[in-house]
Chains A and B, each alone.
Chain A
Amino acid sequence: MFARILGFAAVAACLATPVSAAVALGDAAGSYSISPANSSIHFSIGKVGGGGLNGTFARFKGSIRIDNSDVGRSQVNFTIFPESVGTGQGRIDAFLRSDAVFDAANSPEIQFRSTGVTRTSDTTALVTGRLTARGKTFPEKFTAELGGLKAGTIKFHVTGKVLRSRYGMDVGTPIYSNVVDFDMMLTGKRG
């Protein structure tokens, strides 16, 4: 997610025409905080025979700092509160919150801290970083696509795949895929 945000910022900066690049970069540069009310984090885990388990996280927070001289030095920090997981099925939510998966009581936060942002096209960027869940940290990467930048608000569409087995959440494999597909719409507000 952070990566996506950074990527968006980078993209926004790069979108500007060469003559106005400095101005555009200056426009995007700055610190943003994620607005949960205007953002969503959706995840999906495929299962054998088709279909999958879909859910969202209702509570999360994050910040984006876009460096005005070097987009690659931009920073994204993101925290998800797994207690807020929702799948539309209470028993599955309870299972996900339990020590079978998130162990939300003992590991109340899932954190992402970006380590780098690389522009991949006019509107996309690859955000690499370190994801920490249940006390385990691994490098992960997310693709960020700039969705808009205006009046101090920046929007990113962030996608990425995470292997849940790395974080001690491999329960249910191989019935349920080890791959968790994230799809996030993040809105950052300057300030």
Chain B
Amino acid sequence: MQTSITNSTTRYGWGTIILHWLIALIFIGQFALGFVMVRLTSQRTAFELIQLHKSFGFLLLGLIILRIAWRLGNAAPALPRSVGILERRAAPLAHFALYAFQLALPLSGWALVSVSMLEIPSLPFNLFIMPNLPLAESDGAESFWAAAHWYLAYAGMALVAVHVAAALRHHFQLRDGVLTRMITPLSGDSAE
């Protein structure tokens, strides 16, 4: 069998599969972390979790840029022939929107950190200083980006829920290979 790092027209390669699940894990974990960190009574724990959230946010930003580059440089496997015209048109839009949210969320968080009057530096995983975006600090700008980050997070999670529901429908109801081909390249042939 040929190397299965890259995609082919019939299956996803390991590059796509690993990036997909790694990003999925961080993306959902970031939502949970963000939800919890702003509801804690311990300001110390809140501070530490916010720094962790920032660290994973920058990691996510790097991974999603890699993911998009990988997507643009790789073939995308075709949908099974059984997929109807409506879903055939909706799926790429949904996937485009997912990429957009994955980019917008860390960027809006970065903007929020950059404009905050608290001026807390970003030191991802205590490894290096991440500079701020060149945006003016103000309480108004901080409120704006906090709200934007919040709405993007909930809308993004709603889209993830739709994405997961669609994948589960393909696996359990339609019984095609749309979900399994994102788990291992070996199931690619069955996607047709």
Contact = CB atoms under 8 A, between A and B. Distances in A.
Interface of A: 47-49, 51, 89, 91-92, 94-95, 98-101, 171-172, 174-175
B80 interface: no
B121 A175 contact: yes
**What bracket does the count of chain B residues touching chain A fall in?**
10 to 19
Contacts of B121: 47-49, 175
Interface in B172-191: none
Contacts of A98: 43-44
Nearest to B44: A100
Contacts of A94: 43
B85 interface: no
Nearest to A96: B43
B126 A99 contact: no
Contacts of A171: 44, 47-48
Specify the main secondary structure of chain A where it touches its partner. loop
B30 interface: no
B43 A95 contact: yes
Interface of B: 42-44, 47-48, 51, 117-121, 123, 126, 129, 131
A98 B47 CA distance: 12
A35 B120 CA distance: 34
- Interface pairs A-B: 7 shortest CB-CB: A100-B44, A100-B43, A98-B43, A49-B129, A171-B44, A49-B121, A175-B123
B142 to A, nearest CB: 10
Given A51-B119, A89-B118, A92-B118, A174 B126 contact: yes
Contacts, number: 35
A48 B129 CA distance: 7
Nearest to B130: A49
A100 B47 contact: yes
Nearest to A98: B43
B1 to A, nearest CB: 48
Given A100-B44, A101-B44, 9 more contacts: A47-B121, A48-B129, A51-B119, A89-B118, A95-B47, A98-B43, A99-B42, A100-B43, A175-B51
Nearest to A173: B126
